[in-house]
Amino acid sequence: MTFAAVDVIRTKRDGGVLSDAAIDWVVDAYTKGVVADEQMSALAMAILLRGMTPAEIARWTAAMIASGERLDLSAVDRPTADKHSTGGVGDKITLPLTPLVAACGVAVPQLSGRGLGHTGGTLDKLESIPGWRARLDNAEFIAQLRDVGAVICAAGDGLAPADRKLYALRDVTGTVEAIPLIASSIMSKKIAEGTGALVLDVKVGSGAFMKSLDDARELARTMVDLGTAHGVRTVALLTDMSTPLGLAVGNAVEVTESVEVLAGGGPADVVELTLALAREMLDAAGRPDADPAAALADGRAMDAWRSMVRAQGGDPDAALPTARETHTVTAAADGFVSAVDAYAIGIAAWRLGAGRARKEDPVSAAAGVVLHRKPGDPVRAGEPLYELRTDDPNRFEAALSAAAEAVSISAEPPVPTALVIDRLA
């Protein structure tokens, strides 16, 4: 069935509901270049302003999946489970989590992205390991999943091509922040990847896409329902992203912190979230009795990490890049750290060179921010709060202005807050 794009746009502009046939047609025609970018931009804006019904979101997601291939992981002789985070500051959890879950007998097919703006990207972090390569073809992806049980790599071009085109368009037309479009974008890729179970880490707070709990809950609900409708056992945790995760924000520094976690140490919040997500993944994959804390403590997760890095050409023993220049910011007064603002620290790390402004920009492996204090820690005037790292000292000024108000100090310790806020299934 053929439609006129302008009629589809008008229907949504006026608050109507798009028919299944109209959705199938417009997604397919846009992927093939029959619907022009300016028409899809207008439709995306109408969707952002008018919203979509659950049935429209489900059909839109199915059409995006159908725009490309759906991977068949039946050659893998174990259950599979993946995790997706909506993105945050210092969110390196995929790095320790993927080998940890693999070490507990569940294969993890993790297709990841690069950072854009203030949030980091898993592939950028792993590329700070000498020799490591992000691109695998489908046969290599499935072979590594079978042999090692853990893969973190870039999504191939054949997976949800409609989303690749639409996401680039949304990025430059102010239409990223529409819950139906975010949910269908994320879930089309995860469903097409072929995972049996999926755990969503939906971030809430200053460093997250979703600043309010209500929006985060709506996004989580929409994604869980989409996954379930497509036969993927899907669970979501809502987790706090008002404070950076761990102490390290950047690329190589986050790999170093992840390896500390795999060695049985690392910051308490990173360990807590890694274990919480691992338990959810193991449970959703039908292995509720597996003990991820034991696999961290006895070195099995570290062994899986080393095998995973080696399988993609990386040297797990190689020294990681370090920054040529550092600048330490100290406390102006005695007291307790009451807040470390994730968004401000994320922008500072980005300005130091850890992130990119445009998709084609390179990132610096060595740049980033290392926190010396987290909320609740006591501090004395003159003691270090955080350290900026970069190869280019001209970047300090912009990073310092971004981070100027990031750390708050109060006379009394703050009331502790929960890292895992809610769970939806």
Site membership for ligand URA, residue 186 (CB under 6 A):
yes
Q: Which is nearer to ligand URA, 141 or 167 (CB)?
A: 167
Q: Which is nearer to ligand URA, 187 or 365 (CB)?
A: 187
Q: Which is nearer to ligand URA, 41 or 185 (CB)?
A: 185
State the nearest-atom distance from the C-beta of 229 to ligand URA, in Å: 19
Catalytic residue among 85, 185, 188, 242: 185
Secondary structure letter of residue 331 according to DSSP: -
For 99, the token pair is 């080998």
Measured over all CA atoms, what is the biggest interatomic distance in the chain, rounded to whole angstroms?
Answer: 70
Residues in the chain: 425
State the nearest-atom distance from the C-beta of 76 to ligand URA, in Å: 24
Q: Which is nearer to ligand URA, 132 or 167 (CB)?
A: 167
For 189, the token pair is 């890729």
Q: Which is nearer to ligand URA, 359 or 412 (CB)?
A: 359
Burial 234-273 (b: 16+ CB within 10 A, else e): bbbbbbbbbbbbbbbbbbbbbbbbbbbbbeeebbebbbeb
Catalytic residue among 59, 114, 164, 189: 189
250, β-bridge pairs: 368
Site membership for ligand URA, residue 167 (CB under 6 A):
yes
For residue 90, give the amino acid letter: G
Q: Find the residue with minimal CB distance to ligand URA.
A: 185
Q: Got the DSSP string for 341-373? A: -HHHHHHHHIIIIIS-SSTT----SS-EEEES-
Q: Got the DSSP string for 185-240? A: HHHHHHHHTT-SEEEEEEEESTTSSB-SHHHHHHHHHHHHHHHHHTT-EEEEEEEE
Catalytic residue among 12, 84, 217, 230: 84
Q: Which is nearer to ligand URA, 179 or 365 (CB)?
A: 179
Site membership for ligand URA, residue 103 (CB under 6 A):
no
Torsion angle, alpha carbons of 210, 193, 279, 264, to 10: -90
User: Which of these ranges, 178-186, 197-205, 325-333, 371-379, lies near ligand URA under the rule CB under 6 A?
Assistant: 178-186
User: Which of these ranges, 68-76, 181-189, 193-201, 242-250, lies near ligand URA under the rule CB under 6 A?
Assistant: 181-189
Site membership for ligand URA, residue 60 (CB under 6 A):
no
Q: Which is nearer to ligand URA, 151 or 186 (CB)?
A: 186
Half-sphere exposure of 135 (CA within 13 A, CB side): 3
> How far apart are the C-alpha atoms of 2 and 267, rounded to whole Å?
56
User: Which of these ranges, 44-52, 130-138, 179-187, 224-232, lies near ligand URA under the rule CB under 6 A?
Assistant: 179-187
State the nearest-atom distance from the C-beta of 110 to ligand URA, in Å: 14
Whole-number Cα distances in Å, 212 to 203, 205, 208, 209, 352: 10, 7, 9, 9, 28
For residue 419, give the amino acid letter: L
For residue 341, give the amino acid letter: D
Question: Residue 84 catalytic?
Answer: yes
Site membership for ligand URA, residue 182 (CB under 6 A):
yes
Span 226-245, contacts to ligand URA by CB under 6 A: none
State the nearest-atom distance from the C-beta of 181 to ligand URA, in Å: 6
Task: Name residue, tokens 């071009």.
Answer: 157
State the nearest-atom distance from the C-beta of 166 to ligand URA, in Å: 9
* Residues 390/352, Cβ–Cβ less than 8 Å: yes
Site membership for ligand URA, residue 112 (CB under 6 A):
no
Site membership for ligand URA, residue 185 (CB under 6 A):
yes
Question: Residue 327 catalytic?
Answer: no
Question: Residue 189 catalytic?
Answer: yes
197, β-bridge pairs: 81, 233
Catalytic residue among 24, 163, 201, 341: 163
Catalytic residue among 170, 287, 306, 389: 170
Q: Which residues contact 381 (CB under 8 A, 6 or more apart)?
A: 330, 331, 332, 333, 334
Question: Is beta strand 378-379 parallel, antiparallel or unpaired with respect to 248-250?
Answer: unpaired
Q: Which is nearer to ligand URA, 159 or 182 (CB)?
A: 182
Question: Residue 125 catalytic?
Answer: no
Question: Residue 372 catalytic?
Answer: no
Q: What is the size of the binding site for ligand URA (CB under 6 A)? A: 6
Q: Can you state the percent helix, strand and coil of the chain, rounding each to 5?
A: 45, 15, 40
Residues of this chain that bind ligand URA (CB under 6 A): 167, 176, 181-182, 185-186
Active-site residues: which are they? 84, 163, 170, 185, 189
